[in-house]
A and B are shown apart, each in its own frame.
Chain A
Amino acid sequence: MGKTIGKVLEVASIAAFAYVTVGVGLGVAAGATVGASVSSLAAGIGLSTSALSGLALAGFADVAGLGGSTGQKPESTVVALKPRRREEAETGEPHRGTGRLLPPGSAAAWVEGDLVSRADFGRARSWAVDELFEPDRRALPGAQRA
């Protein structure tokens, strides 16, 4: 009887070890594959969202408002650390309703749900927009400015 239990425990421990090893291995491999993805690694080794929020301490934060026009959230609220592009067709959200920001010199400790100053928010938002979009202030050929 004792032998059987011992065998079962041995098999179970090997299975558990393999499970953890493969899980972590896959996590590391996938993270490396996609360019050392911090969050994939985190997911692979089972870090929680709250642990990910620690990334904000390194200056990473996401804010609502990039893309504008939702008007559903106060501009000064950090709504998510990991916003994804939702299909505007299905959710009605703007194409670029949120953005991941690395605001230089600001928002060093933003985490989900935080309120930040409008000045900081504006700086971060401006920085994020600038990376993706740049208007041309001159009129198009043959057209008056709209």
Chain B
Amino acid sequence: MTACNLIVQRSAGAAYLLTDTAALNAAREVSQFRSKVLGVRIRGKVVGAIAATGHIDVAYVRKPLRQLAPPDFATFWAALPDLLREAMGAHAARHPDRDGSRRAAMLGAVFDRDAGEPRGFMIGSDGSMFPDASYAAFVVHPVLKHLTDFDRLVGRPYPLGTDVTDPRQWQAERDGVRLIEAQRRDAFERADGSAYCGIGGRAMLTRVDASGVSHRVLKNWRGDRVGCELPFIPAATASLVISAEHVLAHARCSASRFH
């Protein structure tokens, strides 16, 4: 699972991707830490970035995108559906043990030099990342904002009613950590109902603007370990017993990694 946030701030001339770096295996333990963001080149110049979530690894997009070497945006948009399909296929072939619906989505931002502004986009293998059925699968949709869900009741990362696309109200470099921390606290749930944390490693902020693409690590969750479940205290529903078990299990796992 992934924190996969896209925020376009037109008045600031910048778009942001806020992602984590933890990749989980079927047991929901960290298998590795890696960037989930890939640069987009048009005519050889980096003009944007893509992040991926779901049953996909953005690394599988890198090679075909490099081979495609899109000369313009039109070629890039036209190629994205097949890039998503290919990446999902490669991921499924690599991880045949990961059963399920194999949903995936990519979101990203590019800087349109002609218009002098950043643009955001999303494409999904189905409509599950979108608010309703009007968003077709394997079609590139222009988007100004997509946030990974977080607990709306407690520990809100910003006041109710804040427009995160307005740089006067929300600044990625300043406020991004609180957003992704809230998302990290909002546990995912296995089919059996047990909770687990799906967001960890590092909080990476990718900025797309007229100067290109830059990355910044906003947060390093130093306690996260490969081979261990990500530690968390359930924010909403899990019992304290489960919390204690998670904390103890993580402590035991972390301790064993040092030996």
Which residues from chain A sit less than 8 Å from chain B, CB to CB? Answer: 23, 26-27, 30, 33-40, 43-44, 55, 60, 66-69, 82, 84-92, 94-97, 99-102, 128-129, 131-143, 146
Contacts and interface: CB of A to CB of B under 8 A. Distances in A.
B140 A38 contact: no
A135 B127 contact: no
B129 interface: yes
B189 A84 contact: yes
Interface stretch (B59-67, B239-247, B251-259): B239-247
B185 to A, nearest CB: 6
Task: Give the interface size class of chain B.
Answer: 35 or more
B195 A84 contact: yes
Interface string B121-139: 1000011111111001001
B189 A136 contact: no
B51 to A, nearest CB: 14
Given A43-B240, A87-B100, A132-B147, 8 more contacts: A40-B236, A68-B133, A82-B236, A84-B195, A89-B99, A135-B144, A141-B112, A142-B74
B77 A140 contact: yes
Given A102-B153, A136-B120, A85 B128 contact: no
Contact of B188 (A26, A34, A87): A87
B21 interface: no
B131 A90 contact: no
Contact of B154 (A35, A66, A90, A97): A35
A131 B188 CA distance: 19
B128 A94 contact: yes
B143 A133 contact: yes
A66 B131 contact: yes
Given A92-B101, A143-B77, A133 B147 contact: yes
B197 to A, nearest CB: 12
B121 to A, nearest CB: 6
Interface of B: 1, 8, 54-55, 72-74, 76-77, 98-103, 110, 112, 114-115, 119-121, 126-133, 136, 139-149, 151-155, 160, 165, 185-191, 195, 233-240, 243-244
B136 A136 contact: no
Given A43-B240, A85-B149, A86-B189, A133 B130 contact: yes
A135 B233 CA distance: 33
A46 B236 CA distance: 14
A67 B131 CA distance: 4
A146 B190 contact: no
B154 A33 contact: no
Contact of A141 (B110, B130, B146, B235): B110
Nearest to A44: B240
Q: Which interface residue of A97, A100, A101 has the most chain B CB atoms within 10 A? A: A100
B235 A37 contact: yes
12 contacts: A26-B240, A33-B233, A35-B185, A67-B127, A69-B133, A88-B128, A89-B55, A92-B100, A135-B142, A140-B73, A141-B119, A143-B73
A40 B234 CA distance: 8
A35 B155 contact: yes
A119 B237 CA distance: 29
Nearest to B192: A90
Contacts of A102: 152-153, 160
A66 B78 CA distance: 29
